[in-house]
Structure 1
Amino acid sequence: MKKPIRTPLSAEQLADAKRLHDIYKKRAKESREDPSRPVLTQTEVGERCEWKSPQSTVSQYMTGKVALNLEALVKLSEALDFEPAEVSPTLAAGIRRASSPAHPDHEAPAANSPLPVSADVPESEDDRYAFVPQYDAKAAAGLGSENPHVEIRSTLAFKRDWLKVKGAKADQLIVIYAEGQSMWPTINDRDVLLIDRSRVEPVDRQVFVLAGVDGAIVKRLIQGPFGKWILRSDNDDKDQHPDRYFVRSDENEHRIIGQVIWRGGDL
């Protein structure tokens, strides 16, 4: 049987692997210099990450034989005590590592904090985070944004405790991007939007992503008279961003994709 052909890693991915290897060497050297601590090995790191082939998996990530992914980066950041952006700025965009368990004086996590910033350490990282698919689709905060071809770019990690508080299930969530300024100041151009696809019933004054003949849009729904709903922009310039009506019917041009339950972006 022929061995599968692996796609060569990019220069950026190889740089990630080297930075990871350098951090491991530094941590291993620190462990050798401290007689009170056992010497850190690749096997120990892999076991902390709860991988079935601990040494082999760690070695492949550090030598650039296998490209790092977001889930592996989060696990390794905990095992080796580093911030994800120190190894992979690209993968780390939009997440923050949980605080190291080596610092017990850290405050307990806030349940309303969505990204990994807590100090609690569960049995495994899979129990701690939900990895939500991040699509390159855009929802226009303005006129519709067409998405004829949509791909998954990566994933974003969200705390499961926070999702539970929000009443959201990970398998119903997707991440997309906003485009335009009609929802400013609530949502800015290029903000990350977490969408709950299970919430397709309109709720007064909540923000939803809708699909229509002119593409995907993100608007606030306002309950109007006679069973009508208004698609409203948060931007006060109503000449540029007027209200539109939304009627629940098979003939209606818009269909609710899901409710926006979180946004992330530049201040």
Structure 2
Amino acid sequence: MDELGRPAINPEIRIKEASDLSRLWKATPKAKRGTQEEFGEKWGVGSQSAVGQYLRGDIPLNFKAAMAFATGLGCQISDFSPRLASEIEGLAKHAVEVPTDDEFADVRRLDVKVAAGHGSVPYLEEELGALKFRRNFLRSIGVSEANAVVVTVQGASMEPTIADGAVLLVNRANREPRSNAIYVFHLQGNGLVVKRVVKSGGQWMARSDNDDRDAFPDFAFDEGATLIGRAVWMGAKL
């Protein structure tokens, strides 16, 4: 057992995973992945040192790091860690109960926390299975299955519109600002946030629905924010 009470990973498996991951790293053009420091910051792996330790096998891969590497390198987790791929498949089977009717589409539910506040360091973890949406519903709101993803909101800055703990359906293909629409975007140095988009004085601004402007001030997009998708549906506990 490790310090968190989880089963210890066989050293041979850890080294094999690191070797396969390192091979994929080297095979990916530097122009695409960047340096270890750039990769770690962009995909939430951590510092340059952390990226290097995963690639060398000094520390074992976990769900968060594996998903980040797979996304950043454009590969599957199974390409370098069949162990984690198998565990994720098991989680997906038990995460949600979904119908099998062809009228429904699977939309990936990722454990990517989106802050409705000042932001949080973005990170990627395991895929929590899928939520089912009717295909005609997705079509009606202009979202393709390939560009749809469900994420969870943390924070009170968008209340009462979006409750803390709500899940959002995000259209990653829609990255063009539209006045009064709600978007998820990455704020440089602060992480992933969800805000309403407004235009003020000829400039696009991100605004909280919470009226407490001292706690949740507006900020301009040119302060390092990058839109990653428009929120088109919300689900929350009553």
TM-score of the superposed pair, with normalisation by structure 1: 0.52
SS of the residue aligned with 2:177? coil
Letter in 2 for 1:166: I
CA distance in 2, matches of 1:139, 1:259: 13
1:67 to partner: Cα distance: 6.0
State the partner residue of 1:224. 200
CA distance in 1, matches of 2:195, 2:91: 36
SS of the residue aligned with 1:125? coil
Between the aligned residues of both structures, percent identity stands at 35
Which one has the largest radius of gyration?
A: 1
CA distance in 2, matches of 1:69, 1:211: 27
Which protein is richer in helix relative to its size? 2
State the partner residue of 1:162. 137
Given the alignment of the two structures, is residue 91 of structure 1 paired with residue 96 of structure 2, yes or no? yes
Aligned positions of 1:1-267 closer than 5 A: 90-92=95-97, 125-126=101-102, 128-212=103-187, 213-226=189-202, 228-247=203-222, 252-267=223-238
CA distance in 2, matches of 1:91, 1:260: 22
Residue segments in structure 1 that go unaligned for 5+ positions in a row: 1-65, 71-87, 98-123
Once the two structures are superposed, what CA deviation does each residue of 1:27-84 show, in whole Å capped at 9, x if it has no partner? xxxxxxxxxxxxxxxxxxxxxxxxxxxxxxxxxxxxxxx96966xxxxxxxxxxxxxx
Runs of 4+ in 1 over 4 A off after TM superposition: 66-70
CA distance in 1, matches of 2:235, 2:107: 14
Determine if contact 2:91/2:128 at 8 Å carries over to the other structure.
Answer: no
Query: Residues 231 and 67 of structure 1: is their aligned pair in 2 closer, same or farther, counting only changes over 3 Å?
Result: closer
1:211 to partner: Cα distance: 0.5
Query: Residues 232 and 67 of structure 1: is their aligned pair in 2 closer, same or farther, counting only changes over 3 Å?
Result: closer
Query: Residues 125 and 215 of structure 1: is their aligned pair in 2 closer, same or farther, counting only changes over 3 Å?
Result: same
Determine if contact 2:106/2:132 at 8 Å carries over to the other structure.
Answer: yes
1:266 to partner: Cα distance: 1.1
Letter in 1 for 2:148: L
TM-score of the superposed pair, with normalisation by structure 2: 0.58
